[in-house]
Amino acid sequence: MTFEGRFADQILPDQLHILNVSFLVPGLRRDFGGCAGNIAYSLNALGGRALPMATVGSDGGDYLERLRSLGISTEFVRQVDDSFTAQAMIMNDRDNNQITAFHPGAMQQAHITRVTARDDIRLGIVAPDGREAMLQHAEQFRAANIPFVFDPGQGLPMFDGEALRHFVELASWVVVNDYEGKMLSQRTGWSFAEISERVQGLVVTLAAEGCEVWTRGEREHVLPVKPTAVVEPTGCGDAWRGALLYGLEQGWALARCAALGNRLGALKIAQRGPQNYQVDRQALGL
């Protein structure tokens, strides 16, 4: 939603104890989103085979049909009849300040679906999800001998140092942005170099500055890709995640995977919505 004024002009600081405001939002857009759907879209567009594991509510029929129309399997997408699909209501003002309300809905039951060993599943990711789902799926990936990426994103603050150290010990790769990386390091008590010694690789994304790739205690900077336009950042991280998974599945070095992620993130940021960009595989050299 787009509010054409400024929040600061509508909210009186000395009246917050009786806050009661209303915003006229002439601009309204609804997009398909969510980490599982966005990552699946990215991986599928690159030519990979995505198997999103997630939950949708009674209102999720349109999303299931969209995934199937894109050729994305819904085998591991559970529909919960007595809940709404998780959704975020985001309102921006003219200064790009943002107010967000997030309803987890069916996501709170994501832990019901289990990860099990299967010959055609070679790689996984634990991305932001319900807390129990993230904990249990990490354990299940390890039990099934499926290497996985731990990329907690906005879910990271839900976990204390002990839980985060356990995630790192279970994972094959760890991905965080700069802010999340500082929190991860602070809560685990491990430096980036020390984390990278415990996994096959750590990536710290730096937005417009590219990213750092850490392997065996050594750091490598992967250059950014300048987008043709900066339209909307929502979904950039998920586009990057899909590219990472594609590269890892191909057996690429981690820095090459990150470079493809930077290119796909730049492609996505030039379009509105998390799943509206088009991928030219030939132009990407795939």
Please check whether residue 207 is in contact with residue 239, taking contact to mean a CB–CB distance below 8 angstroms: no
Lowest average pLDDT, out of 76-90, 187-201, 249-263, goes to 76-90
Predicted TM-score (pTM) of this structure: 0.91
User: How do residues 173-183 score in pLDDT, each as one tens digit?
Assistant: 999 999 999 99
The span from the CA of 35 to the CA of 46, in Å, is 17
Quick one: pLDDT at residue 271? 93
Q: Which residue has the tokens 């509206």?
A: 276
User: How do residues 109-149 score in pLDDT, each as one tens digit?
Assistant: 999 999 999 999 999 999 999 999 999 999 999 999 999 99
pLDDT above 90: residue 195: yes
User: How do residues 39-48 score in pLDDT, each as one tens digit?
Assistant: 999 999 999 9
Quick one: pLDDT at residue 258? 98
* Residues with catalytic function: 238
CA dihedral 100, 104, 107, 109 (to 10 degrees): 160
Q: Provide φ and ψ at 270, rounded to 5°.
A: -85, 0
| 19-46 mean pLDDT | 93
| 192-204 mean pLDDT | 98
Please check whether residue 31 is in contact with residue 273, taking contact to mean a CB–CB distance below 8 angstroms: yes
HSE, CB side, 13 Å, CA atoms: give it for residue 282: 0
| Residue 231 confidence class, pLDDT cut points 50, 70, 90 | confident
Quick one: pLDDT at residue 214? 98
Quick one: pLDDT at residue 44? 97
Quick one: pLDDT at residue 88? 87
Quick one: pLDDT at residue 139? 98
